Amino acid sequence: MQIILGQRLKELREEKGLTQKQVAAALNLNTVTYLHYEKAQREPPLSVLADMAKFFDVSVDYLLGLTDF
């Protein structure tokens, strides 16, 4: 699940033309922490997943790879 999450985060970030630092700042996260999520080295807590879904305008299910839309 972490690998899919990391891939989706990277794809969504790149689609928006944002840097990892910009996304981290928007989510009130340390840049290194966000980097760990995107590289699938850490799993974010549910509250952060919800913030990510809202920021990228997708569902948590999409981020986790449970749906493709």
Does residue 2 have a pLDDT over 90?
A: no
Average pLDDT for the chain: 97
CATH level 3 topology of 2-63: 434 Repressor (Amino-terminal Domain) (1.10.260)
Mean pLDDT of 35-60: 98
The ranges assigned to domains in the chain are 2-63
Q: How many helices (H) and strands (E) does the chain have?
A: 5, 0
User: So what's the pLDDT on residue 62?
Assistant: 98
Specify whether the CB–CB gap between 21 and 31 falls below 8 A: yes
Residue 64 has pLDDT above 80, yes or no: yes
For the entire predicted model, the pTM comes to 0.94
Query: Is 23 within 8 Å of 34 (Cβ atoms)?
Result: yes
